Chain A
Amino acid sequence: MLSKLNTLCLKGIDGREVLAEVYIASGLPAYSVVGLPDAAVKEAKDRVVAAVRNSGYDFPAKRITVNLAPAEIKKAGTHFDLPIALGVIAASGRLGKKPPARFTDTYFIGELALDGALRPVAGVLAMLLALKGRGVTAVVPAGNSAEAAISGVNCLAASSLKDVASWLSGENELIACSAAATVQTSSGSGNDFSEVKGQPFAKRALEIAAAGFHNVLLVGPPGAGKSMLARRFGALLPPMTFDESLETTKLYSVSGLGVTGRLIGERPFREPHHTISDAALIGGGSSPRPGEVSLAHNGVLFLDEFPEFSRPAIEALREPLEAWKVTVSRVRESVAYPARFLMVAAMNPCPCGYLGHPTRECACTPLQVHKYRAKVSGPILDRIDLQVQLSAVKYADWEALPRGESSAEIAGRVLKAIEIQRKRFKGGAKANAFMAGAELRRHCALPEGASAVLETAMNKLGFSARSLDKILKISRTIADLEGASGIKREHIIEAVQYRMLDKAAALAAGF
């Protein structure tokens, strides 16, 4: 006998409909799965056999063929257990002569335990979103109940195979999925900008970065507060919109990190260790998974000790920094993960960390310094608008320093600047950092006397033509923060301060 059920699978971060067909024929007992399944799907057999038997059904000793269609999509994950088991039970005639009416317009997702219980799986939200607005029903494990409720699709939660089987034959009803109680996130607890004393330039640079979506490079000696600042940076960004939350939650759902059942409402802050591989950073694997850049989608990617990252990892950042997405291509498939993140990179001024330190002597040779800095290649530096130097803070000074502005105060200014940009770019997620060519010339008209400033900067400080574009973009953001319609001379002068690595003197590290 033949049975057909609807289920879903993931392609990238989007759900796709899959039809699971189970056919039981007479012959030598055998079980085969066709339709491009991965290892986990093939393993489903052992779980399915045990779960079916432990739920009080017979597992037919016949020739069983499972087909997952369409065959060209690679099927990964353990959530095919439930549809396969139900297919076997239905095809062996235990649910009546005809397929149950509830098979149509119902989608089944779930991993089985050997005793027939249903276990939560990854990617439920992303899969269910494919059904949105279709008026269909989905059956998900009870453990995914809260996550499934976010999707807005009509979902039922089941806790075992037996539950689902008896629901299909109309013997009982399943309860609808309900959203988790919203937990108030304790914002600002111990992570406020006012706790960072000193570092006025770095703080200002981060404010500008948040306002114009500019990537930042923090250069400073150990202990200057680079990580401390970066961890507080997220608080400066505007609150997430619903679409942004949904997108981010989807990515977390796909990577199996989001089974908390809540929409992610805070911008993600990802801080991968510098030994991370390029595949883990960008996304990949034989069955692709989102990397750190995608997990930082709509949030902050903090790369501490930036030059210590492997060269392939650093260079792999080029495309996501430009295209806001990562495309992972494999022989059988190619998937795209969104990756619109703001990068905050931190590094020491030299390998020992004390170049330019007021009291400690740097032990590096100019060649070592040059090699260390050269690890951050030109194309990557090109995608980082703001470069700012942090200074070591002496204890005596540190005591005397006043507390800084709170995150909320800065975030208020940032939000205003972002609203100005929304108007400028007619909605959309575009920001000053992404202006190019004609746009740059239109929105960054130079005021009277400002070209002289730029010329002096080029001649005296050795800036390249390329850094001039960056200076213009930063100036635009500074003007937006002030609410000024046009760029003024002082905006440009301030912007020059955030291109310290471009100075000719900094390039010739030997002095």
Chain B
Amino acid sequence: MGAKTETEKLARVRLNFFACYKSDWLLRLMELYGGAAELLKRKAAEIAAEGGVMMETAERLVAQTREADPEKELLAAEKAGVAVLTVLDEAYPELLKKIYDPPLVLYVRGDLKPVPAAAIVGTRKATPYGLRTAARLAGELAASGVAVASGLARGIDTAAHQAAVEAGGVTWAALGTGLNDIYPWENKKLANRIVEAGGALISEFPLDKGPLPANFPRRNRIISGLSLATVVVEGGFESGALITAKFALDQGREVLAVPGPLDSAMSRGPNHFIKNGAYLAENAADIVACFPPEYLFGLKPFGAEAVKSPEASALRALSPDALEAYNVIAAAEGGLNADEVTAKLAWQVQRAAAALFELEISSLLVSRGGRYCRAA
């Protein structure tokens, strides 16, 4: 890399310290002056006059970028094992370059492998149905060689990342915070597992940036921008998942949705998309079918199977008691707790406890907050 590009990269890292809600006008200014380095040489008054920016904004831009210390940031990134990429770098993802306002700087921990990706997004307040569907889709995608992109948020995002990691696949998490401040805190372990499994954590924010509500919708354009298709699993009308899907549409990528029960508030988002012409995602094959043909090379083929109930063999291996308990729990929409299972079957506590234990360790059931739901 030449000295000039090196200076330009530093300038972009510096410019990226300027906190703004949208960055498209910064890209416009850079185009106007021929790069970030040139832009940063200007006085506030010049930028305001020539760039069509408000004086106050220009002054803030100059002040904030002057305070920033990009050399220190790059050193810190190196120490933390984080790659800092700008569009000038070869490693900057091609697909992301093509969107309307690609991030000025990308901080990447882990490996951004050149594989086709699909985004799985959804609400933080997911239902058991949403969680197991997200996990199944992500698992299938990961197993077939597609990277699963999502946002590391609670709920659907977490389920998707987890399933992809467990399937031994690649998954990318685009964060709304700096890479040194992973949010939500309970997903720190998951974040490390994503990197260990060959995936990556991606952020456009300086390393130490904390969680700010305004930054989360913005990172959604990275999730959709990295992906060939975006799958909405669950979400209300106000959900961030819907923002991601709208970004995907703006970026010319495919949007798919997983249909949900009509009486669940969390189904309104995906069902709305389907009504308006989004593809319906039943399995990974539906998602991959939307990819442009040139990306299909190298993917593992797999059959387009309909959703199955759990393995018949796993059910056959259960004791009669456990099977009976399983059927009762699987039939209940929101799952059952131990007391309800006991009452429904009119069993002794001991008998119910044994059946639930058997089901829980057989992975046919998951328990969440004391309620047992079927795992798949």
A494 touching B185 in the complex, CB below 8 Å, given contacts A349-B369, A511-B131: no
A223 to B231 alpha-carbon distance, docked (Å): 41
* Contacting residues, chain B, for A508 (C-beta < 8 A): 186
Query: Which of B51-59, B143-151, B279-287, B352-360 interfaces with chain A?
Result: B352-360
Within 8 A of B (CB), among A202-220: 202-204, 219
Query: Which of B63-71, B240-248, B299-307, B339-347 interfaces with chain A?
Result: B339-347
A201 touching B339 in the complex, CB below 8 Å, given contacts A366-B186, A494-B354, A511-B369: yes
* Contacting residues, chain A, for B363 (C-beta < 8 A): 460
B368 touches A201 (CB 8 A): no
Contact of B360 among A366, A397, A401, A461 (CB under 8 A): A461
A366 touching B334 in the complex, CB below 8 Å, given contacts A401-B343, A496-B357: no
What bracket does the count of chain A residues touching chain B fall in? 35 or more
A460 touching B360 in the complex, CB below 8 Å, given contacts A356-B371, A510-B184: yes
* Contacting residues, chain B, for A349 (C-beta < 8 A): 369-370
Within 8 A of B (CB), among A174-204: 198-204
Contact of A200 among B184, B349, B366, B368 (CB under 8 A): B349
Looking across the interface, which residue of chain A has its beta carbon closest to that of B189? A508
B131 touches A389 (CB 8 A): no
Contact of A366 among B184, B340, B353 (CB under 8 A): B184
B349, B363, B367, B370, most chain A CB atoms within 10 A: B370
A506 to B342 alpha-carbon distance, docked (Å): 21
B340 touches A490 (CB 8 A): no
- Minimum CB–CB distance from B160 to chain A (whole Å) comes to 14
A391 touches B186 (CB 8 A): no
A318 adjacent to chain B (CB < 8 Å): no
A41 adjacent to chain B (CB < 8 Å): no
A370 to B186 alpha-carbon distance, docked (Å): 10
B369 touches A355 (CB 8 A): yes
B313 adjacent to chain A (CB < 8 Å): no
B276 adjacent to chain A (CB < 8 Å): no
- Minimum CB–CB distance from A277 to chain B (whole Å) comes to 33
A390 to B339 alpha-carbon distance, docked (Å): 8
B339 touches A391 (CB 8 A): yes
A389 to B334 alpha-carbon distance, docked (Å): 17
A510 to B298 alpha-carbon distance, docked (Å): 36
B186 touches A397 (CB 8 A): no
B343 touches A493 (CB 8 A): no
A484 adjacent to chain B (CB < 8 Å): no
Question: Contact string, A133-149, partner B, CB cutoff 8 A, digits 1/0?
Answer: 00000000000000000
* Contacting residues, chain A, for B339 (C-beta < 8 A): 198-202, 390-391
- Minimum CB–CB distance from B305 to chain A (whole Å) comes to 27
A370 to B340 alpha-carbon distance, docked (Å): 26
A500 touching B370 in the complex, CB below 8 Å, given contacts A201-B339, A457-B361, A509-B186: yes
* Contacting residues, chain B, for A497 (C-beta < 8 A): 338, 353, 356-357
A493 touches B338 (CB 8 A): no
Looking across the interface, which residue of chain A has its beta carbon closest to that of B338? A201
A388 to B184 alpha-carbon distance, docked (Å): 28
A27 adjacent to chain B (CB < 8 Å): no
B357 touches A510 (CB 8 A): no
* Contacting residues, chain A, for B352 (C-beta < 8 A): 200
What bracket does the count of chain B residues touching chain A fall in? 20 to 34
B154 touches A494 (CB 8 A): no
A383 adjacent to chain B (CB < 8 Å): no
A172 adjacent to chain B (CB < 8 Å): no
* Contacting residues, chain B, for A201 (C-beta < 8 A): 338-339, 342, 349, 353
B158 adjacent to chain A (CB < 8 Å): yes
- Minimum CB–CB distance from B100 to chain A (whole Å) comes to 33
B337 adjacent to chain A (CB < 8 Å): yes
Within 8 A of B (CB), among A469-497: 490, 493-494, 496-497
Looking across the interface, which residue of chain A has its beta carbon closest to that of B371? A356
B337 touches A494 (CB 8 A): no
Looking across the interface, which residue of chain B has its beta carbon closest to that of A492? B357
* Contacting residues, chain A, for B334 (C-beta < 8 A): 358
Looking across the interface, which residue of chain A has its beta carbon closest to that of B332? A358
* Contacting residues, chain A, for B338 (C-beta < 8 A): 201, 389, 391, 497
B327 adjacent to chain A (CB < 8 Å): no
A401 to B368 alpha-carbon distance, docked (Å): 25
* Contacting residues, chain A, for B366 (C-beta < 8 A): 505
A367 adjacent to chain B (CB < 8 Å): yes
B350 adjacent to chain A (CB < 8 Å): yes
* Contacting residues, chain A, for B354 (C-beta < 8 A): 490, 493-494
A390 to B360 alpha-carbon distance, docked (Å): 19
* Contacting residues, chain B, for A496 (C-beta < 8 A): 353, 357
A509 to B339 alpha-carbon distance, docked (Å): 21
* Contacting residues, chain B, for A367 (C-beta < 8 A): 184-185
* Contacting residues, chain B, for A397 (C-beta < 8 A): 340, 343
- Minimum CB–CB distance from B196 to chain A (whole Å) comes to 18
A397 to B371 alpha-carbon distance, docked (Å): 17
B350 touches A389 (CB 8 A): no
A494 touches B184 (CB 8 A): no
* Contacting residues, chain A, for B340 (C-beta < 8 A): 358, 391, 397
* Contacting residues, chain A, for B337 (C-beta < 8 A): 356, 358, 389, 391
* Contacting residues, chain B, for A199 (C-beta < 8 A): 339
A109 to B363 alpha-carbon distance, docked (Å): 71
Within 8 A of B (CB), among A332-360: 349, 355-356, 358
A451 adjacent to chain B (CB < 8 Å): no
- Minimum CB–CB distance from B155 to chain A (whole Å) comes to 8
A32 adjacent to chain B (CB < 8 Å): no
A511 touches B368 (CB 8 A): yes
B338, B340, B357, most chain A CB atoms within 10 A: B357
A505 touches B367 (CB 8 A): yes
* Contacting residues, chain A, for B125 (C-beta < 8 A): 361
- Minimum CB–CB distance from B338 to chain A (whole Å) comes to 5
Within 8 A of B (CB), among A382-421: 389-391, 397, 401
Looking across the interface, which residue of chain A has its beta carbon closest to that of B354? A493
* Contacting residues, chain A, for B185 (C-beta < 8 A): 367
A494 touching B368 in the complex, CB below 8 Å, given contacts A200-B343, A201-B339, A391-B339: no
- Minimum CB–CB distance from A166 to chain B (whole Å) comes to 68
* Contacting residues, chain A, for B131 (C-beta < 8 A): 511
B350 touches A456 (CB 8 A): no
Contact of B357 among A200, A370, A401, A493 (CB under 8 A): A493
The 10 closest A-B pairs by CB, nearest first: A356-B369, A389-B370, A204-B349, A391-B339, A356-B370, A494-B353, A497-B353, A391-B337, A510-B186, A493-B357
Residue pairs across A and B with Cβ atoms less than 8 A apart, 11 shown, are: A199-B339, A201-B338, A356-B368, A391-B337, A391-B338, A456-B361, A490-B354, A493-B354, A497-B353, A505-B367, A509-B186
